[in-house]
Structure 1
Amino acid sequence: MHLIIMRHGEAGWHTLDQERELTEVGRAHTAQTAARIAESPWRPEVIWTSPYTRARQTTGIVSEILNCPVEEKSFITPDDDPGVCLDALLDNQSTPLMIISHMPLVGSLSTLLVDSHRRGIPFMTSQAVLLEMPVVGPGCADLKAQFLP
């Protein structure tokens, strides 16, 4: 399985956390990252997105550039347990799959899959990583590529 994990684009701070919107810089960086993914051999079959506004806006830009369907998932918001997402990945049949979410979830999920612990690595806004997993499980993934704006 190939999994692309992306953090949403830069968002403003002028509202409640769930309603924060992308800045113009966030929109531009998201488009740049999506264009880099589009040039790679790993175009996702589907995108899972957080229901938060900034993630949905990021997903809108990415899905338009990559021309792929979107599924909103309630279990990939900032403070959700990466183990719940791991369980959903076990049932997933799409590959490559893309997840667009938030810190600390993107960091802790990536670290769980690669290093088998949940401390979490940092992600810049609009950054994405490609993980390759022969099987889905803690410590089973290899970091294959990074996509930066």
Structure 2
Amino acid sequence: MHLLIMRHGEAGWHSLDQERTLTEMGRKQVAQCARQIAASPWRPEVIWSSPYIRARQTAAIVSEILNCPVEEKDFITPDDDPGVCLNALLESKHSPLMLVSHMPLVGALSTLLVDGHRRGIPFMTSQAVVLDMPVVGPGCADLKTQFLP
């Protein structure tokens, strides 16, 4: 399985966490990253998005550029357990699959899949990584590449 994990674009701080929206710079950086993914061999079949507005906006921009559907998942919000997402990945038939979410989840999930622990690596906004997992499980992924805005 190939998994792309992306942190949402830059968002403003003018509202409640779940309602934060992308800034103009955030929109531009997401589009820039999505165009890099479009030119790569890892175009996702489907995008899983957090239900938070900034993640949904990010997924919509990526979806438009990559021409792939978005599915909202309620288990990939900032403080969700990466183990729950791992269980969902075990059941997924999509590859490549893209996940658009938040820190600290994107860092914790990436670290769990690559290194087998949950300490979490940092992600910039609009950053995406590609993980190659012959088997979906903790410590089973290799970092293939990353896309930066």
TM-score (norm 1): 1.00
How far apart, in 2, do the equivalents of 1:59 and 1:89 lie? 18
Instruction: Provide the residue aligned with 1:120 in structure 2.
Output: 120
How far apart, in 1, do the equivalents of 2:103 and 2:42 lie? 23
SS at match of 1:18: helix
Note the C-alpha offset of 1:28: 0.2
How far apart, in 1, do the equivalents of 2:40 and 2:136 lie? 22
Unaligned runs of 5+ in 1: none
What's the RMSD between the two structures over aligned residues? 0.2
Note the C-alpha offset of 1:11: 0.1
Instruction: Provide the residue aligned with 1:56 in structure 2.
Output: 56
Note the C-alpha offset of 1:96: 0.0
SS at match of 1:6: strand
1:1-149 aligned at under 5 Å gives the runs 1-149=1-149
Query: In structure 1, what residue type is equivalent to 2:6?
Result: M
Note the C-alpha offset of 1:17: 0.1
Per-residue CA deviations over 1:52-90 (Å, capped at 9, x if unaligned) read 000000001000000001100000000000000000000
How far apart, in 2, do the equivalents of 1:127 and 1:43 lie? 15
Unaligned runs of 5+ in 2: none
How far apart, in 2, do the equivalents of 1:84 and 1:41 lie? 28
How far apart, in 2, do the equivalents of 1:113 and 1:126 lie? 20
SS at match of 1:83: helix
How far apart, in 2, do the equivalents of 1:134 and 1:59 lie? 26
Alignment coverage as a number of residue pairs: 149
SS at match of 1:144: strand
Note the C-alpha offset of 1:99: 0.0
Superposed structure 1 runs of 4+ greater than 3 Å apart: none
SS at match of 1:135: coil
TM-score (norm 2): 1.00
How far apart, in 2, do the equivalents of 1:114 and 1:85 lie? 14
How far apart, in 2, do the equivalents of 1:70 and 1:16 lie? 24
